[in-house]
Amino acid sequence: MKIHKEGFGIIFMTVVICSIIETLVLFFGLNSWANLSLITLSLIPLGIFVLVVQFFRLPSRKNNYEDGIVLCPADGKVVVIEEVEETEYFNDRRIQISIFMSPLNVHANFNPVSGVVQYAKYHPGKFLVAWHPKSSIDNERTTFVTKTASGKEVLFRQIAGALARRICYYVKSGQNVEGGQEFGFIKFGSRIDLFLPLDANISVQLNQKVKGQLTKIADL
């Protein structure tokens, strides 16, 4: 396991802030270590540091991508599986699968399929909680469409949550990408939506916990 590059600056600032807090606690309570509340207070910065570091962890995993499948783009829980009207790119009916990532999940995002990126667009927006039905169209988000070698197109969307304030992505229109490779990161709570063809054979269930690069979402 390693620390994601998006976390270096935030982890550094966390260390600085936590060190200041610990110094103040020691200074004002040097002769009061028997005070249980003071001891508890001194542990809070350590807890914050641990939470921030675990958020930016990037575990080493075997990439389970195979041609013809849709691979899970993120760790989290499946919160939506339904047929919807997709209005940004396809303007037709698609199967939407949404994966909610809590602050405790790995937040790196991975390409669900191999192919050529046909569409890439960033949308500024609100910061509703990521499981809110309107977060898919109202929140800060990015939308990507990748066409596979067989001609199938898959749309996937990063959506910022209530705690998230920055979406990072590393692909652009016209770029060749490989399934299971990292394409982005969302900081502090988020969601990913997938929009698949109606004839896709779905492999996951509602409320199922899934892992990026490992779980098969569907067969195209």
Active site residues: 190
Using N-to-C axis directions, what is the helix angle for 8-28 and 36-55, rounded to 10°?
170
> From residue 40, how far is each of 32, 35, 92, 168 by CA, in Å?
12, 9, 55, 36
Which residue in this structure is represented by tokens 């070698």? 149
Distance CA 4, CA 58 (A): 6
Which own/partner contact pairs does 137-143 have at CB distance under 8 Å and 24+ positions apart?
140/164, 140/165, 140/167, 141/167, 142/167, 142/169, 142/184, 143/88, 143/89, 143/119
DSSP 9: H
- H or E element: which one contains 22? helix 8-28
* 119 within 8 A of 208, measured Cβ to Cβ: no
